[in-house]
Structure 1
Amino acid sequence: MRHKKIRLALVLLASSIVTSTAQASLEARTGGMVYDKINKITWAADANLFKTQAAADSNLVNEIIVNNNGVINDASAVNGSHTLTAADFNTSTGKMTWFGAQAWVNNLTLGGFTDWRLPIITEGASGGNPPVSEMVALFANGPSGGAGAGNGAGAGTGMTNNGSYNIFTNVQSSEYWLGSEYASSPGEAWLFLTTNGTMSYIGKLNQNFAWAVRSGDVAAVPLPGAVWLFGSALVGLIGLKRRKNIV
């Protein structure tokens, strides 16, 4: 009977660990990052990180421009590039032109990683369906509390407050740049609207917010605490059985 009780306790403990970790598609990582287990990408936890950085570093814009050699590729320009200036950045709001946003993520180091980028379109439009982007996936599976598939229209990421939303800070109820250009018009790029979960495109010189993302996870072992807890419980149950046998 004692053996059966111990086995049952271990099964229940393992089940609770699996259940609690499977419920959330987003996991907070140290260093100001959030991992999306479904799409296998890591987001900056601060959804207006540029503004946060600019408030702490008055020379940030100059650093970004210099580190990008003063230019960003531009398919719509005659010479194939856009010359970066301070006008591409608004440090008081965190908004940037598409060129400024590209330059910012190129310059970004977060959590020791330098391969940050803007979110991209993952599926093109087809059969009347709108394109799908990494921000659409985040909107549908994460902060909006599951707005649905596809374009995610329903409740806005920046309008909803739940457990997933609280993982992030400074989420703006506004437009966010995507790294994907609008193929039919090289002077425009795609953006995502957190207010209603839709996507659109606009001229690259307009200013919008930028949310940094990178491919993959930043943690080799995402759940060391759960593993340690399971091992400790196992040792404790075995020790309890031995004490009972001695008595």
Structure 2
Amino acid sequence: MTKKTLLAGLAITGLLIGATARAELQPRANGAMVYDTQTNLTWLADAAIGGLRTQADAQQWAASLSFGGFDDWRLPVVAPVNGSALRLDYSEDGSTDIGINNSGANSELGHLFYASLGNTAAGLTHTGSFSGLVDPNNPVGPVFWTGTASESGWALSFFMGMGLQDQLATDTLAQAWAVRVGDVAAVPEPGSVALMLAGLLAIAARRRQS
């Protein structure tokens, strides 16, 4: 195998890997939402739509949000990586709940960053079809709230520019981003339901006449 052939093969492999990572994310509602097929979560495509808020305000905003015909939005959450209690010591292998490489489905933002978008701890290089994931004035940001409290007066957050999950004081201003469980495409729009019902009624009427 020549050097050129090897390099070409590596380049193609890299493209395939990148495409696979991003293929998990499917646009919904004309691009206003994004569905993650791995985690069964639907995200708002505009990550900055919630603005900067304290953690309590961010939770209230997400819980009261009505978007795309759905009102069951919330902040992304973190479940303990060990399955029992949050580990708040720093690690770089994802073995605790603070640090980098938290790519498991227990961390909804971490899984999105590492697994679905295909980024690494070297930084944010893939944003998919999302907007609002890059802060030109802050290379480690933007910082997103989670709905998971860590200690009294503190909650877990995610530094999107560097793939870091860490604690923030809950009165800090950070970005609010909403997510919901399930695929929005699985629910027919009211107009589609009406058309389906009309079709079923027409079929039933023809059967009665025959």
Give TM-score, length-normalised by structure 2.
0.63
TM-superposed CA distance for 1:217, in Å, is: 0.8
Q: Provide Cα deviations, 1:142-185, integer angstroms capped at 9, x if missing partner.
A: 33x342xxxxx2222xxx24xxx241112243210000001xx2
Residue of structure 2 equivalent to 1:34: 34
TM-superposed CA distance for 1:195, in Å, is: 1.4
Paired AA for residue 204 in structure 1: T
C-alpha distance in 1 between matches for 2:166 and 2:21:
33
For structure 2, the 5+ residue unaligned runs are 1-18, 135-140, 188-210
C-alpha distance in 2 between matches for 1:190 and 1:100:
15
C-alpha distance in 1 between matches for 2:47 and 2:56:
18
Paired AA for residue 66 in structure 2: T
Paired AA for residue 141 in structure 1: A
1:44 aligns with 2:44: yes
Residues 1:24 and 1:206: Cα distance change in structure 2 (over 3 Å): same
SS in 1 for 2:56: helix
Residue of structure 1 equivalent to 2:166: 200
Contact residue 62 and residue 178 of structure 2 kept, 8 A: yes
Paired AA for residue 68 in structure 2: G
C-alpha distance in 2 between matches for 1:138 and 1:21:
13
TM-superposed CA distance for 1:23, in Å, is: 6.8
C-alpha distance in 2 between matches for 1:192 and 1:34:
19
C-alpha distance in 1 between matches for 2:185 and 2:162:
32
Residue of structure 2 equivalent to 1:118: 75
Aligned ranges 1:49-88 → 2 under 5 Å: 49-50=49-50
Paired AA for residue 129 in structure 2: I
Paired AA for residue 24 in structure 1: A
Give TM-score, length-normalised by structure 1.
0.54
Residue of structure 2 equivalent to 1:178: 146
SS in 2 for 1:135: helix
Structural RMSD (CA): 2.6
